[in-house]
Amino acid sequence: MAKVAFIGLGVMGYPMAAHLKNKGGHDVTVYNRTAAKAEAWVKQHGGRSAPTPAEAAADADFVFTCVGNDDDLRSVTTGANGVLSSMKSGAILIDNTTASAEVARELEAVARAKGLGFIDAPVSGGQAGAENGVLTVMCGGDEATFEKARPVIDAYARMVGLMGPAGAGQLTKMVNQICIAGLVQGLAEGIHFGKRAGLDIEKVVEVISKGAAGSWQMENRHKTMNQGKYDFGFAIDWMRKDLDIVLTEARRNGAKLPVTALVDQFYGDVQAMGGNRWDTSSLLARLEK
C-alpha cells in the first residue's frame, strides 16, 4: 500500500481515484477545485480530502494530477500551493491530464531539480474506461521511475506503456486523437450514406464490422449514432482542446495533418449547432442537419 494524492476529480479523475483506493488498496487523499466534490468522494470511498494541492501531496509517495489543460496543470503543480512545493524527496508525480508535450518536459525538469520523479501519463478509454478501470495509459519518462509507478497506475488501467522520455506520453496521445478524429468522420459519413441509400444500418454494420472496416468506434458508437443520441463519452469541447494541442505540435514538428485539421473544423460546426457537450460521434449530426 502506498500513500497517494489525487488532484482533480472530474469525470475521469473521480473514478480513477476510486480505483486507486478500492482496487489498488492505497491510502488516498484527494483535492478538487470544487471542495464539495472532494467531500462527496470521501463520503463515498473513504480516504481524506485536503484544502490545497500542496497539502494533499505533502506526505504522498505518488501524486496524480488529472485536470483540464496546460494552465490548470501549472496551477496545481508549480503555482501557489501547487504539489511540487510540498512533495517529499523521491516521490513521483504522475500526470494523467491530456496536455502539451512542452508542459510535460517543463514539469519533468522542475521535478528532477527537486529530487522527484515525473511521468506524463495521458489516458484513453473515455468515461466508461475510467469507471471500469480499463484505461490505456501512454507514459513518458525514465524507465526506473516508470517501473516504480506502473504497479500503482495498474489500478485503473488495462494497458500501460512507456513510450519514451518525458513528453512521449503526450505525443502518443496526440497520435491517438489524430486516429480517432479520422475514424469517427469516416463512420459518420458511412452511416449517413447508408441511410440515404435506404439500407438497414444495423445489418450493414453487422456485416462490415467483421471485416477491414471494423473499429472500436463502429462497435461501440454506431447504434447511438444511428439513433441520433450523443450523450456518451468524450465531449466535443474537450476533443477540440486536444486537437488544438495536436495541430500546434504539428506546426512545430512539420507534420502534415490535412484530415485532422478538417475534422477539427467540422467539430467547430457541431459546436455552432449547440453540441459543445455532445460526444465526439456527433459528427453525424452535422451531416444530417
Say whether pLDDT at 234 is over 90. Answer: no
3-state secondary structure of 160: strand
Q: Which residue intervals of the chain bear CATH 1.10.1040.10? A: 171-288
Query: pLDDT tens for residues 114-130?
Result: 999 999 999 999 888 99
Backbone dihedral region for residue 272 (phi beyond 0: left; psi -120 to 50: alpha; all else: beta): alpha
pTM: predicted TM-score of the whole model, two decimal places: 0.95
From the number of C-beta atoms within 10 Å of its C-beta (0-12, 13-18, 19+), residue 148 rates as middle
Q: Kindly state the cell numbers that stand for 58.
A: 505533502
pLDDT of the residue at 289: 86
Q: Taking Cα atoms as reference points, which of 32, 31, 89 lies closest to residue 59?
A: 89
Quote the CATH superfamily of domain 3-164.
Answer: NAD(P)-binding Rossmann-like Domain (3.40.50.720)
Could you tell me which CATH number the domain at 171-288 has? 1.10.1040.10
pLDDT in tens, 4-31: 999 999 999 999 999 999 999 999 999 9
Which residues lie below 8 Å from residue 53, measured CB to CB, with a gap of 6+?
Answer: 5, 7, 31, 76, 77, 81, 82, 83
pLDDT bucket at 283, cuts 50 / 70 / 90: very high
For CATH 3.40.50.720, list the domain ranges present in the chain.
3-164
Catalytic site residue 289?
Answer: no
From the candidates 114, 173, 203, 289, give the one annotated as an active-site residue: 173
Q: If DSSP codes are grouped into helix, strand and coil, which group holds residue 65?
A: strand
In this predicted model, what pLDDT tens digit does every residue of 51-106 receive, in sequence order? 999 999 999 999 999 999 999 999 999 999 999 999 999 999 999 999 999 999 99
